[in-house]
Amino acid sequence: MTDQNEESDRSGGNIPKLTNSYLESLIASEQYTYFEEAGTTVCCLQLKSTYSITVSVVCANPALRSEARGRERARRKAMAELLDKEYYTLRSKLYDIQLGIGERGDE
């Protein structure tokens, strides 16, 4: 039985769909630091794989600065980076399948 976040490829294996719920399932924890005077928010997503994604966002307009807004923007940016990394991983897996290679290095 396949998970709702996976689909079958031509070789019978399962390839995860890169949905928001799939990406969320990769996150073990998240931390934020807000530097009020600088208008900067830093977001660190710690993944279950122990890899970390750390990004920062800056709000130049002091009238628009808020910790909540900074956290929202920083998390959105970190999730976009996570999506990019997962998309690369998925494309690599699909390429290996196309070449008939199992796991990386298995021929």
What's the burial of 43, exposed, middle or buried (CB within 10 Å: 0-12/13-18/19+)? buried
**φ, ψ (nearest 5 deg) of residue 102:** -70, -125
Is the pTM for the entire model greater than 0.85?
Answer: no
What's residue 1's pLDDT?
33
What's residue 101's pLDDT?
78
- Asked if residues 48 and 34 have their Cβ atoms less than 8 Å apart, the reply is no
CA-atom Rg of the chain in angstroms:
18
Q: Extract the residue ranges of the chain whose pLDDT is less than 50.
A: 1-9, 11-12, 107
